[in-house]
Chains A and B, each alone.
Chain A
Amino acid sequence: MIGRWRRASIRARLTAWYTAVLTLMLVIYAGATFVAVRHEFRERFDEGLHEDFEAAEESLVRTADGGIAWTADRHHEGDAEYRVAQEVWSPTGEELYRSDASLALPRVTPPATGEYRYETVMAKGGRWRTVTAMHSVGGMPVVLRIARPEERLRTQLQEILLVLVLGLPLVAALAGISGYLLARRALAPIDHLASEARRITAERLHEPLSVPNEHDEIGRLAAVINDTFARLESSFDQLRRFTADASHELRTPLALIRGVGEVGLGESRTPAEYRETIGSMLEEVDRLTQLVDTLLRLSHGDAGTIRVVRERVDLAQLTSDVISSLGILAEERKQGLILAAPEPAIVSIDRLVVREAITNVIDNAIKYSPQESNIDVSIRAIDDHAVLTVADEGPGIPAEHRARIFDRFFRVDEGRSRDRGGTGLGLAIAKWAVEINGGHIAVDQRPHGGSVFRITLPLSRVAIIADQAAHHRVGG
């Protein structure tokens, strides 16, 4: 049952809710109306009874022999519906007069002076409404009782109730139908949107959904969907570009292996020459292996399946390790590789992953800086972040390429970097490595040429607190 409810369309559920709520409200409304009407009818009935009572009082006189007599005709004689019965009793409870003996109302008990007692009693197979009060006829105190059958009142009320009860399902059904129509009308734009969205495929993402009114809810929904499609399209583009680039990068070493092998087989050579040929092929195999390894790692990174093991690391120490490892490369090129890290910067990171990022960025700087230039590496704590900058005196990166420098396989100068042994993935790996550790990486131009890479990582909170505590101790 619940399962079926969940599977039902929004339209059906809206209709059901609408009908149920409306019916409930109608029931409450009808109930309240009936109660009010009944109250009003009863009031009026009692008022009529009171008028009858007053009429009876006026027409009642004392006869000369001390008896009771009527001066006027009793009204509504013969009208069964409006039959009025009058009774006169002595205060001691003796019957003095009865207009209809067959009525056989119970004996009267005298009410207090000035009190009009209204009662409903059973008599002659029906309910009678009576009013009883003291009255004085020519100085003789008597108890006067007027009675009227309630039958007509009850019939009227029953008719009203019948109309209300019979009308309710009808109105509820009407509510259901109109609710269904309303829901269908309200949901029609969504159906339309869905059928439009259905024709959009990966190749046709650039065709936006038509937005009839961009300010209503549907319009906003369509705008959101269009926005999502636009983003999807851009990631598809990126993917396409990446696939093209990756195939190119993979094909280059493959072509080399094949070429070198074919040439090597061409004519007979000395063993030394063969060794050269095979070695050259193996070099390309090595390059391919590294490329595939790196790509796999990036794809693991994208899929989020690489586990980051965070520990508290001094970024200054880590960078110093990297520099002492890569220093020999700068030395070869007679470059000055200088680290300025005045104080430790404790960050909570995966040591190996971030180390790779720093290695790639510094290696990049060494590769692209001219001989005998300086590469300045500095680490500072700014607010709650550790900022690592690597500034070189190389040619810098043209502004139009800066946004894409961290893209996979992006190269400012196609031919040159391959010769230097790069895979074209170093900075992409660096970006991924920094970001997975909660930091970010950016590149800028230095005022006097050269580029500056900036890696920002959040300082370890424990370190910040400890630092503050230390300051506090020193201060206090």
Chain B
Amino acid sequence: MRVLVVEDERKLAQVLASALQAEHYDVVVAPTGEDGFYHANAEVFDLVVLDLMLPGRGGLEILQTLRNRHIQTPVLILTARDGIEDRVLGLDLGADDYLVKPFALPELLARIRALLRRGRPSEVLRLKAADLEVDMVTRCATRGDRMLDLTPREFELLEYLLRHHGHLVSREMLAREVWKEPRRATPLDNVIDVQMARLRKKVDPDGEPRLIHTVRGVGFVLKENEP
């Protein structure tokens, strides 16, 4: 999978590149708008991560040219906090998703996975990790031969973790995707933490290998072995 990152902020570009490489993507970094424009036109990528605020040729211009040439590579745009108009304009011009700076890396990676998965039906009816199994049809969760008694919220939480099996999940993602809250706030963070603690008690009782891990300062991950 080839990903083009058009980002002029050197440090951020480095971070993005190494994070994507860690996920085994083939990354090309373009530090200017001109560069990005050249790469996007000359080569084939599976995905473009595009900063809108670029010196020289702006991100919106690159996006517009790509779409005018019927290049349908998925584009994820990065905008500053206040660029609401830019964001709307970007989506209108054919961007597939956007993230507002500052964003969390797990979130960016999840969005990229979602964009790359798109178009391929991924209706999984059974999610598995180690001896943990979740049946989406009967809404039953089992660990080994033990049946887990989950509340609806806990079930949704576990499902979300399983869908991002092996990948970090931030509180922000949980707030939006599981709690369906448009904005993450401190009270909700506390709610998420308590809910996660309860879920963990049911999924990972003492003595069994832990599956749900807290990564301090980042979020949570469901994984067979320690991160």
| Contacting pair B217 A286 (CB below 8 A) | yes
- Chain A residues with Cβ under 8 A from B218's Cβ? 279, 282
| Contacting pair B185 A359 (CB below 8 A) | yes
Q: List CB contacts (< 8 Å) of A126-184 with chain B.
A: none
Task: Pick the contact of A356: B183, B194, B198 (CB < 8 A).
Answer: B183
| Contacting pair B187 A279 (CB below 8 A) | no
- Chain A residues with Cβ under 8 A from B191's Cβ? 325-326, 328-329
- Chain B residues with Cβ under 8 A from A290's Cβ? 184-186
- Whether a CB of chain A sits under 8 angstroms from the CB of B225 is no
Q: How far is the CB of B155 from chain A (nearest CB, A)?
A: 15
- Whether a CB of chain B sits under 8 angstroms from the CB of A275 is yes
- Whether a CB of chain B sits under 8 angstroms from the CB of A72 is no
Closest A residue to B226 using CB positions: A272
| Contacting pair B190 A279 (CB below 8 A) | no
Task: Pick the contact of A421: B189, B215, B217 (CB < 8 A).
Answer: B189
Q: How far is the CB of B156 from chain A (nearest CB, A)?
A: 13
- Whether a CB of chain A sits under 8 angstroms from the CB of B121 is no
Q: How far is the CB of A364 from chain B (nearest CB, A)?
A: 9
Closest B residue to A327 using CB positions: B191
- Chain A residues with Cβ under 8 A from B81's Cβ? 293, 296
Closest A residue to B171 using CB positions: A286
Q: How far is the CB of A329 from chain B (nearest CB, A)?
A: 6
| Contacting pair A363 B216 (CB below 8 A) | no
Q: How far is the CB of B138 from chain A (nearest CB, A)?
A: 25
- Whether a CB of chain A sits under 8 angstroms from the CB of B144 is no
Q: List CB contacts (< 8 Å) of A201-246 with chain B.
A: none
Q: How far is the CB of B12 from chain A (nearest CB, A)?
A: 14
- Whether a CB of chain A sits under 8 angstroms from the CB of B102 is yes
Closest A residue to B184 using CB positions: A290
If A278-B217, A282-B216 touch, whether A421 touches B186 (CB-CB below 8 Å) is yes
Q: How many residues of A contact B (CB 8 A)?
A: 28
Q: List CB contacts (< 8 Å) of B81-115 with chain A.
A: 81-82, 102
Alpha-carbon distance between A280 and B215 when the two chains are bound, in angstroms:
10
Q: How far is the CB of B54 from chain A (nearest CB, A)?
A: 23
Q: List CB contacts (< 8 Å) of A399-426 with chain B.
A: 421-423, 426
- Chain A residues with Cβ under 8 A from B182's Cβ? 352
Closest B residue to A289 using CB positions: B102
Q: How far is the CB of B99 from chain A (nearest CB, A)?
A: 13
| Contacting pair A326 B217 (CB below 8 A) | no
Task: Pick the contact of B187: A275, A280, A363 (CB < 8 A).
Answer: A363
Name, among A276, A286, A352, the residue most crowded by chain B CB atoms within 10 Å (CB to CB). Answer: A286
- Chain A residues with Cβ under 8 A from B195's Cβ? 328
Closest B residue to A279 using CB positions: B216
Q: How far is the CB of B3 from chain A (nearest CB, A)?
A: 24
Alpha-carbon distance between A323 and B73 when the two chains are bound, in angstroms:
44
Q: How far is the CB of B61 from chain A (nearest CB, A)?
A: 27
- Chain B residues with Cβ under 8 A from A275's Cβ? 215-216
| Contacting pair B216 A283 (CB below 8 A) | yes
- Whether a CB of chain A sits under 8 angstroms from the CB of B179 is yes
Name, among B81, B182, B189, B217, the residue most crowded by chain A CB atoms within 10 Å (CB to CB). Answer: B217
- Whether a CB of chain B sits under 8 angstroms from the CB of A332 is yes
- Chain B residues with Cβ under 8 A from A293's Cβ? 81
Closest A residue to B197 using CB positions: A332
- Chain B residues with Cβ under 8 A from A280's Cβ? 216-217
Contact with B along A352-389 (1 / 0, CB 8 A): 10001001100100000000000000000000000000
Q: How far is the CB of B225 from chain A (nearest CB, A)?
A: 14
Alpha-carbon distance between A363 and B194 when the two chains are bound, in angstroms:
14
- Chain B residues with Cβ under 8 A from A190's Cβ? none
Closest A residue to B82 using CB positions: A296
Closest B residue to A324 using CB positions: B153
- Chain B residues with Cβ under 8 A from A359's Cβ? 185, 187-188
Closest A residue to B198 using CB positions: A328
Q: List CB contacts (< 8 Å) of B165-210 with chain A.
A: 179, 182-191, 194-195, 198
| Contacting pair A285 B186 (CB below 8 A) | no
Alpha-carbon distance between A276 and B227 when the two chains are bound, in angstroms:
12
- Chain B residues with Cβ under 8 A from A286's Cβ? 217
- Chain A residues with Cβ under 8 A from B184's Cβ? 290
Alpha-carbon distance between A278 and B102 when the two chains are bound, in angstroms:
17
Closest A residue to B217 using CB positions: A282
Closest B residue to A296 using CB positions: B81
Closest A residue to B215 using CB positions: A279
- Chain A residues with Cβ under 8 A from B183's Cβ? 352, 356
- Chain A residues with Cβ under 8 A from B198's Cβ? 328
Name, among A280, A363, A426, the residue most crowded by chain B CB atoms within 10 Å (CB to CB). Answer: A363
Closest B residue to A275 using CB positions: B216
Alpha-carbon distance between A276 and B198 when the two chains are bound, in angstroms:
23
| Contacting pair B186 A356 (CB below 8 A) | no
Contact with B along A429-459 (1 / 0, CB 8 A): 0000000000000000000000000000000
| Contacting pair A276 B216 (CB below 8 A) | yes
- Whether a CB of chain B sits under 8 angstroms from the CB of A281 is yes
| Contacting pair B217 A328 (CB below 8 A) | no
Alpha-carbon distance between A137 and B216 when the two chains are bound, in angstroms:
143
- Chain B residues with Cβ under 8 A from A326's Cβ? 187, 191
Q: List CB contacts (< 8 Å) of B46-88 with chain A.
A: 81-82
Q: List CB contacts (< 8 Å) of A249-289 with chain B.
A: 275-276, 278-283, 285-286, 289
19 A-B interface contacts by CB (under 8 A):
A279-B217, A279-B218, A280-B217, A281-B217, A282-B218, A283-B217, A286-B217, A290-B186, A296-B82, A325-B179, A328-B198, A329-B190, A332-B194, A359-B188, A363-B186, A363-B190, A421-B186, A421-B189, A422-B186
Given contacts A296-B81, A421-B190, 12 further A-B contacts (CB under 8 A): A278-B217, A279-B215, A281-B217, A283-B217, A325-B179, A328-B195, A329-B187, A329-B191, A352-B182, A360-B185, A363-B186, A421-B186
